[in-house]
């Protein structure tokens, strides 16, 4: 536990780039907390659907924000997402939720509230540092983070990786779904282009371990001038 402000490793990237799995493993190796910001939007989309809300209607979405109680564990080895007393860790990955996420995330008031929530979770984590991953972490949530990374890969590789995670889905179907979601989300945030000062890690030609190592190398390089550390691992 520490009373100091946690250090943030901010990681952005599109679906299928390996953002979540890589970020969680990086957090483990650094001894940091892990915050999946996308889970908050998924949890709110689940909440809205449970209330029978049309998630494409911003006014209807706003009507169910009042009783939304979000909880998430920042321990990379004990990942858990809750809405109120309900464990929704698995439920928020259902296709119906994935289809609804962009709708709720496009509502400015929802994003503003979520960003404040993310900052509060990090501040209250009691951790030396937190790896925070999502869509606009390097530019909006934590633009002053000492480590800011855009993790990406080619569309073909991202589609292949995502289809491998799912059953009864072919790469073409997944690629089309990912392209549609990226197009919708990119109207709200630019997560495909690195902002000034953000380091790009392209995992197209890298396996999981190589990608984790590449991210850890960026962390080590960023911290070396201030900590004198030769290795961030």
Residue numbers belonging to the annotated binding site for ATP: 13-21
CA separation, residue 65 to residues 1, 7, 87, 109, 228 (Å): 32, 30, 18, 10, 45
Beta bridge partners of 8: 130
Feature table: binding site: 13-21
Q: Which of 61, 115, 100 is CA-nearest to residue 185?
A: 100
CB environment 119-150: b (16+ within 10 A), e (fewer): eebbeebebebbbbbbbbbbbbbbeebbbbbb
CB 100 within 8 A of CB 4: no
């Amino acid at each position: 536990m520490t009373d100091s402000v946690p250090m943030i490793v901010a990681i952005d990237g599109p679906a299928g780039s390996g953002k979540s799995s890589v970020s969680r493993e990086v957090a483990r190796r650094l001894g940091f907390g892990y915050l999946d910001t996308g889970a908050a939007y998924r949890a709110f989309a689940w909440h809205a659907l449970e209330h029978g809300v049309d998630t494409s209607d911003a006014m209807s979405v706003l009507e169910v924000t009042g009783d939304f109680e979000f909880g998430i564990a920042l321990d990379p080895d004990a990942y858990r997402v809750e809405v109120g007393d309900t464990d929704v860790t698995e439920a928020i990955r259902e296709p119906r939720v994935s289809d609804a996420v962009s709708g709720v995330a496009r509502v400015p008031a929802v994003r503003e509230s979520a960003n404040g929530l993310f900052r509060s979770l990090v501040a209250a984590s009691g951790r030396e540092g937190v790896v925070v991953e999502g869509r606009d972490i390097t530019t909006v949530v934590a633009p002053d983070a000492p480590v800011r990374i855009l993790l990406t890969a080619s569309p073909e590789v991202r589609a292949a990786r995502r289809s491998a995670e799912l059953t009864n889905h072919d790469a073409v179907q997944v690629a089309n779904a990912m392209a549609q979601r990226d197009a919708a989300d990119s109207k709200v945030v630019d997560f495909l282009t690195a902002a000034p000062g953000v380091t790009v890690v392209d995992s197209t030609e890298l396996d999981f371990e190589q990608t984790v190592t590449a991210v850890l190398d960026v962390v080590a390089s960023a911290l070396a001038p201030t900590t004198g550390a030769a290795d961030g691992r």
